[in-house]
Structure 1
Amino acid sequence: MLRGDRGDTASTSSRSHGGHGTSEPRLFEFGDRGRILSPRCVEISKQHPEEFLNYLQQAWKRDKIYAKANPDSMLDLKALKVLCQDGKYRPLGSCYIPLPKLVYLQSRYMLEGETFPFLRLNPPLKPDGGFGPWRCLRAFARYRDNLDFFLEMLIRIRRQKSPTVEFPRRILELYLRIQAECEDSRDLEECQQRVRDVFEKEQLLYIHPIWRPPSECLMDDLCDMSSTLSKSALFPVAEDWDASKSELASLRDFYSHTLEVQSASFRTILGVLERREFDAPLDPSDLWLTDDFYRALDKLRRKLSPQDAAELRSAFAENMIIAVAPGESVIWLNSSDCTWAPKLDSPEVNDLSKHYPELKDFFTKFLGIKKNDAGLVFDSLVNVASLSPGNTRDDTARGLLVAVSQKIPEYGHVLDKEKFLRSPVFPVLTPDGDVLLCAATMEFSIADRKYLKDAFIGKLNLLDFDPKTVWMLDNLLVWAGLEERYLSRKVEEMGPAEEDFKSIELSGEISSKASQLLRIAVHFRSPRTSNPKATSWLLEVLEHAQVRLVSSFPSRLIYRSGNAEIVVENTLGGLDIKDTVGLVIYVDDENWELLKQTMLPRRLLEWMMTDPDSGDTEEVTELGVSLVRSILNVAPGRDHIIPKMLDAEGIVDVEALNASPYWRLNR
């Protein structure tokens, strides 16, 4: 005997979802967002979907009072799968109650064996047309012969596996019924949009023997445009539709106004380009096809209204409909990703002049695609030596160097660097006073500071540019790897070996700001802060650091190349850092303010970033130099603002860092 046969009430209650128990599980229970579907309800739907409707019928009588206040829970209920008449399980909200009227209409438009999502009800509905005991399902399932109902039938016919549609006139009748539903609706535009969306998504236009979405159709086959554009013409309709003149008129209205199927126009061509409607993926040899489309658009644009012309431009800006072949395959781009760049020969540059040389006006003037002369300018530069020697050629080279430098940020990655370095493009001033066009293989330096040029002119090969304008070449020189030729990087400054000169100490210049300078050293991971002991020692050194002014402090500038060196006097005035016994900075007194703003911040940071054991110097960043300069410039008595300055720049707080258990753990 089963447990239920012995009167086991617990067992009976647990299986009461079928409508046989005395206590149906609740539909809802309280959760974080109010009443939600009860886990038991969800469990029944998953484990016994064939009995779920009977359970819902009973539970709804008690719990429907909670439904109005819980719309999310109602959506969750509609998402539960239930059994349909065809034996499949579908979400309750997408199913239909098999009312006699709906069953009749379904049988009129659909053939036997073509399935429709009618609910399987037990007991079934009576033929009198009422809902009977299933009135509760109106809150969840569909039951009206409205637009959605006729769209659902059309979708079901479309999804049949048959290669063709039997009795295709029913498709015509469904189209006309859908059009009638739209015309009878309260909101015609919303209804038409709904139909368009469904027809596009489900591909519901039937042109024997295939189905296509409206976007892939034309109203009429004008001048054989349909085959050229890989479209399907909707007219004339097939003879087996047996359509009358009035039906054809209504059908044309449905196609043109409700589905918005277009005749051949610039929009049709855009559609082909947007959806890549070609027989096969294009390869570089197939770009004549897109060339034909662009030529057609070039002809059409001259007859467009301002609004249509703006729409055409916008389409190229927003969609990837321009085909280019930078390598061995075709890629698609929008107008902002392309350039008109003759002689910029690189697979990374999407140069339209290479593929569509006769359409310059269409791409540059109409679509506004940017023209770039980087390739032309670069080509002129690497061939500048072919011009006749003289001042004009040298001036041309200077102008081209500046022009190419301006192009480097955007196009440097595609210019031929090796060709550039091999080409004689640099005007170089020799110690003899001659200006020669030289390649980068020749040894020359770049005077990026006036005092350095004044010091070394006539002694070194120097790039013949004024130091005030050398910065215009910085992009180019860095790109070419020539930035190490800057004299500011190659020249060393050296003070006297012996400290046998009189000096006056400037008290507090560094020592009063020691703790804040330490923050910078720690933040940029100075080798002098590699461990707590070293950090403490650096702080102590900074706290006792001295700045001493020396009258006419002697300083030399030393340029080294291989085993040779050139030594000249430093006309700017000297600055020397000694750390043999503590940290002492000697500065020429006449140039103190100048050196404080220029040389001292960088030299002091370089010293802090130098390993005292190996002598190796870590990277000195411009941010670090700027921060040191800012600290040194804070007036006495205003030191309290320095921590705020460093906090604003995100510089680490050493005290907070030392208090961190994670920092101590990793030290």
Structure 2
Amino acid sequence: MFKPLESDPPLIDKGDPERLSPVALRLAEEQPDEFVIYLRRVWDTNRRQLLDSAKLLHQLRQVKVSCHDQRLHPLSEAWVPTENIISIWSLLLLPEERFRFLILKDQKLKHVDHSSWNFLREIGCQYEAGDQFLTDLLLTIKKTWPTNVKDPGHVLGIYAYFLRRLNRTQPYPDGTYYKLLSDDKLWDNFNACELLLYKGEWIKPSSCFLRAPDYVRSKRVLTPAAGTDATPLETLAIRHFYQLVLCIPNFPDTWAAIIDELRGLQRSTGQTPIQQVTELYRALNELQLSEPERVTIRKLFLQHSLIAIEQGSVIAWQTHLTCIWSPLNKIRNLAELSRPYPYLKDFFVGLLKVEEATEKTVLSRMSYWTPEFEIRDLDLFSLLNGLIATSKISMKPDKLLTQRIFLGKWNGEKYRFVGSTEVFFIPDDEEFANTFMDKLPLLDITAEEIALLDPLFTWLGFKDRYLSKHVYRMCCSPPTAQKQKIEWDIVQRAEGILRIALHCGSPRTTTDVERGTLLNIMKKGEMLAVEGMQSEKVVLTRQKGSKCLGTGPNHKHGLTAPSTHPKLAIAVNEAGNALDRLVLHVSSDKEERDLALFTSLPRCLMKWLMADPKTQKWGIETLLGIRRRITIQHSHKDIGESACKAAGNPGQIQPTTTISCRPQQRKRITRDDTPSRTASVNLKGTRRTLVQ
């Protein structure tokens, strides 16, 4: 029995028997090498009080003391250098791999007498050989050699020593037995600390298979595939360690094991690598399965939603009902599988019966199109559009045109149109669509979607249903409106304009007579400022409910709406034909008139030049090839700013005015490119003239 010295401070606080004294704690902090010696002297005096107080004992176990690895460790994590422990340590570690043995009587490391240091066991210091001791040896090696481990063979020796847990009933020479951790605790230690050394790298056992097919890349394969020679280090003992101690599994090789593995990944709270899932699908696909087994697998995939889909950084698990095999294009609300799993078509389409994107898919889904399926209409049209664009379609447009499948709006409500028998428009111009949305039957589709589905609309024969082809701009004024002639330099410019008409191939310049007629018409031209002139948008249609716009020879019917388009028009007679002179109607308001002259006159004049004098129709190719460049003199800076604002262009305008006509690459028809017709109709005392 050891007795305390008179100079030894009290171990337990006199004022609080549930705490160590501040003086003892200061001794441990200032002289950690001496604290264990001090503790041995005062232990017997304080033993009963310490063992009876869990709080006090816990505090003592957390006190840090000096160890032979030249670090401080809590008493509960330090190892007592018993004879058995020392013998195992000296066998398994290299001299430079310092272990956390307590420093006792002196700095020399040797086994100690049980009786004199027995109190350390009561405190809770480590002293029994077993799983925890071997684990701490591995931690010591890893701390010493984070990379490039010296003599990896001694690490394998520790792994082989773990096999003693399989024969733990045999005692050590000192009478102690191999101390076990639970299988789960041992597995957790190896994973948390990455204590498996493989090809010079410290890794987790959970990132390994014992055996696996040669295509497996998601985990390390510790044993070479069947039919190959084992490496020299792959001894029987090490393989037993992998298999019997760490219980590292083989890659699953039955359909039931693969399903279990998938469900385990599904339940996992960690991040699941999609590569691992892909390998399981491939393994399942390569099995020789009977038809009953295939049916069972389909049911399990449906029941447990075992199809993995990456969504950002997470995995979503779905059934085959919410997936599709569609290499051509993605479909909203359906998970597309050909991109994440390009080589597994047989598995998804063949085994799991995932739907493949074909024209049959479109036709079959039309059979159950109901209001709750409306969100998927565009998906199916996008699919069909992709098939058409790649010439992978054999059915005729009539298959679709005769069905009520084209979702739109009519009279403010959702409505499905029949393509072959009902009138509706494709709202390719947002301004026109917003203007007439409550009065016209329109497809429920955005401008971006219209552009994407152009191959489909062409295939269906819907190109003439674009709303922009049916909307015209007109200018109107009261029949009694005052007209004032305004100076116009058309006479001086007539010959130059004629040359432009010739260069662009105007129908008015085919013969010498026609060229002379055109020149005379322009030289007699005049500009009239008209009081009360208004601009309108007009949709010409004979649909039910549309009103008559006039009593001319064509009896035009249609819908009208106010327009912000510049007020400018070339006058025509009551029959819609051109006059024998060029008469330009403009607003009587100077600001409106100047804006119209600088933004609309060149295009209006070019349309008039390119119109057939008999039919008043324009050739589309020629019209779309016209390039107009309008610039404004510095003296009209205020007009230029107004023109820019009207055109949506905030840029600065340079000082010249030109009209040029050159063939350009063909482009899509936009609102400003829409071909117009000349018409003049009377309605309740109002004269309407179509803007050119």
Give the alignment's TM-score, normalised by structure 1: 0.44
Higher helix share: 1
Of structures 1 and 2, the one scoring higher in RCO (CA 8 A, sep 6+) is 2
* Structure exhibiting the larger radius of gyration computed from Cα positions: 2
